[in-house]
């Protein structure tokens, strides 16, 4: 958004305010350039505009204004902006599956922007409920244990696709509805329908596995058709099958193949067919960052009476809102800082490389790759991230997408974990001094760059005069 002040003059302060809507500015105050033009970047919120939501109304006000008698007049202009929801489509709806098996194809949600461009890195959560029941069957309940991606959701890839594999170990035949939700876009969700039929002639004591890329597992089954020949096939899989067909003979009527898990970060699905078809799904174990403590940052307060807790600045919650406090740094010319993280890994993981890339914003850059050796329970480690590049005081945000690779030193490819943020970062030119040794975010939010320099660094103003 741009405004122009006439006659043209540089350094005129403009205050930006959201009158209605759920978006936010990257900076709430800007100043004019030599042409008298001031610009501000406004990020639309998750709730789309008409017809599914309200438009955004933004006011830009000249901060200097004029005073006539007892009345202060500050010229202003008003903008309106309307966001649009992404387009959400699905693949592999209305599948039919035998009781005791996984669905043949993954549930796929495709997210694109209004121009048809795939959106990568969008979080999608899956859950499913029983919708049509046979007599005496249990009430509908969430069924997360066989959703291949763990709690916290999955992220869309470069094609805008997010995938999930589900199965029905302990459920009766009937109709099931799967809901895929997109938290970043408000109440956006889509439904899948799956029909569960009575069990066929193949049985597997275990048909869902958590393994690391490069590991080999045995896929075992028993057939009620005996003798017979079982055909094995890879569906959504990039691993290696030891055989494409095996035989079942009396007296055990059992058979098995070896399968080496592939490098792709998505789940693998292997089918076995003899009269009926049964599916095996193999997923990656999970590593999650739970706590983040920024090190070497400046102590902040919200205001004179409300302090900001010392640690952690960010903490993940699945059943409540994440803890997320703002941070401040003095400009670091070396461009690198450190943070302490608390990480949790599934029991299958003894070591892994973790890093984070920028998903949104520009306050900080990527978190460099660090190897973590896991023991029982949670694990803490200090890692580095590329720091501030701002040349002046500023307030910016960043959201990190955390990635996991090289699990158990087997060379597994990067896999999306969770996102953290958005982290709000204030940049100061120097260490704060009295009268505000602990800067207050309410002051920083409503001050211009020149005001920050005068309040936090009074000697900077003196140097300018000299």
3-state DSSP of 380-433: EEEEEEECCCCCCCEEEEEEEEEEEECHHHCCCCCEEEEEEEEEEEEEECCCCC
Per-residue confidence (pLDDT) for residue 232, from 0 to 100:
95
Half-sphere exposure (Cβ direction) of 198: Cα atoms closer than 13 Å: 2
Q: 275-308 pLDDT, tens per residue?
A: 788 889 888 788 889 899 988 888 888 888 888 8
Q: Which residue has the higher pLDDT, 33 or 429?
A: 33
The overall average pLDDT reported for the chain is 78
Q: Which superfamily, per CATH, for 85-199?
A: Macroglobulin (MG2) domain (2.60.40.1930)
Please give the share of the chain, as a percent, with pLDDT higher than 70.
Answer: 77
* pLDDT confidence bin for 138, thresholds 50/70/90: very low
Domains 2-81 and 85-199 share a fold: yes
Ranking 163-167, 242-246, 322-326 by mean pLDDT, the lowest is 163-167
Given pLDDT bands bounded at 50, 70 and 90, which one contains residue 417? confident
Q: Could you give the CA distance from residue 348 to residue 371 in angstroms, rounded to a whole number?
A: 16
Residue 460: per-residue pLDDT = 46
Provide the pLDDT for residue 136.
35
Reported confidence tier of residue 441, pLDDT bands at 50, 70, 90: confident
Q: Residue 424 pLDDT more than 50?
A: yes
Q: Which is more confident, 376 or 410?
A: 410
Fold type of domain 2-81: Immunoglobulin-like (2.60.40)
Confidence of residue 250 (pLDDT cuts 50, 70, 90): confident
Would the pLDDT of 318 be above 50? yes
Best CA proximity match to 194, nearest among 109, 95, 91, 99: 95
Q: SS3 helix, strand, coil % of the chain, rounded to 5?
A: 5, 45, 45
What does the block give as tokens for 324?
């997320």
* Residue 272 banded pLDDT, cuts 50, 70, 90: very high
Q: Parse the chain into domains and list their residue ranges.
A: 2-81, 85-199, 215-281, 287-460
Q: Is the pLDDT of residue 443 over 70?
A: yes
**Residues 198-241 pLDDT 10s:** 555 687 878 888 888 778 899 998 887 778 899 999 887 778 99
Average pLDDT over residues 340-347: 86
pLDDT of residue 387: 66
pLDDT tens-digit series, residues 169-204: 555 556 677 788 888 776 677 887 776 655 556 878
User: 0.85 cut: is pTM over it?
Assistant: no
pLDDT band at 463 (very low <50, low <70, confident <90, very high): very low
- Summarised one tens digit per residue, pLDDT across range 70-126 is 555 678 888 887 767 788 898 988 876 666 666 778 888 999 888 888 888 888 887
Check residue 137 and give its pLDDT: 36
Q: Which pair of structure tokens corresponds to residue 347? A: 């029991």
Question: Is the distance from CB of 48 to CB of 36 less than 8 angstroms?
Answer: no
């Amino acid at each position: 958004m741009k405004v122009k002040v006439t006659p043209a003059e540089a350094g005129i302060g403009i205050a930006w305010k959201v009158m209605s809507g759920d978006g936010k500015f990257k900076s709430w105050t800007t100043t004019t350039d030599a042409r008298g033009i001031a610009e501000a970047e406004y990020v639309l919120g998750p709730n789309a505009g008409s017809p599914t939501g309200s438009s955004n109304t933004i006011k830009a006000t000249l901060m200097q204004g004029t005073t006539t008698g007892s009345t202060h007049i500050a010229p202003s202009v008003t903008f309106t902006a309307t966001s649009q929801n992404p387009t959400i489509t699905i693949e592999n709806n209305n599948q039919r599956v035998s009781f005791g098996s996984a669905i043949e194809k993954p549930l796929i949600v495709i997210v694109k922007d209004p121009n048809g461009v795939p959106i990568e890195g969008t979080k999608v959560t899956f859950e499913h409920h029983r919708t049509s029941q046979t007599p005496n069957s249990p009430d509908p309940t969430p069924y997360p244990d066989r959703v291949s991606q763990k709690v916290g959701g999955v992220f869309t890839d470069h094609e805008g696709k997010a995938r999930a594999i589900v199965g029905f170990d302990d459920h009766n035949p009937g109709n099931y509805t799967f809901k895929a939700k997109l938290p970043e876009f408000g109440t956006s969700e889509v439904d899948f329908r799956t029909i569960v039929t009575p069990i066929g002639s193949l049985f597997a004591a275990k048909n869902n596995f958590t393994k690391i890329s490069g590991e080999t597992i045995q896929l075992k089954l028993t057939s009620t058709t005996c003798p017979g020949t079982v055909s094995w096939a890879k569906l959504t899989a990039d691993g290696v099958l030891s055989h494409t067909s095996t035989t079942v003979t009396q007296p055990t009527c059992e058979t098995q193949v070896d399968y080496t898990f592939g490098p792709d970060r998505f789940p693998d699905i292997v089918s076995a067919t003899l009269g009926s078809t049964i599916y095996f799904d193999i997923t990656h174990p999970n590593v999650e960052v739970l706590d983040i403590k920024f090190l070497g940052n400046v102590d902040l307060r919200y205001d004179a009476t409300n302090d900001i807790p010392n640690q952690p600045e960010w903490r993940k919650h699945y059943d409540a809102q994440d803890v997320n406090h703002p941070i401040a740094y003095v400009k670091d010319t070396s461009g690198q800082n450190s943070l302490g993280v608390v990480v949790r890994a599934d029991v299958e993981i003894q070591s892994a490389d973790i890093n984070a890339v920028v998903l949104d914003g520009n306050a900080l850059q990527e978190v460099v790759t660090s190897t973590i050796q896991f023991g029982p329970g949670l694990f803490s480690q200090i890692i580095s991230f590329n720091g501030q590049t701002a040349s002046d005081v500023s307030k910016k945000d960043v959201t990190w997408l955390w990635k996991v690779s090289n699990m158990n030193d087997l060379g597994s490819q990067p896999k999306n974990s969770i996102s953290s943020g958005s982290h709000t970062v204030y940049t100061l030119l120097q260490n704060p001094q009295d009268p505000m040794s602990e800067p207050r975010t309410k002051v920083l939010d409503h001050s211009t760059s020149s005001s920050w320099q005068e309040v936090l660094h009074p000697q900077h103003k003196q140097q300018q005069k000299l």
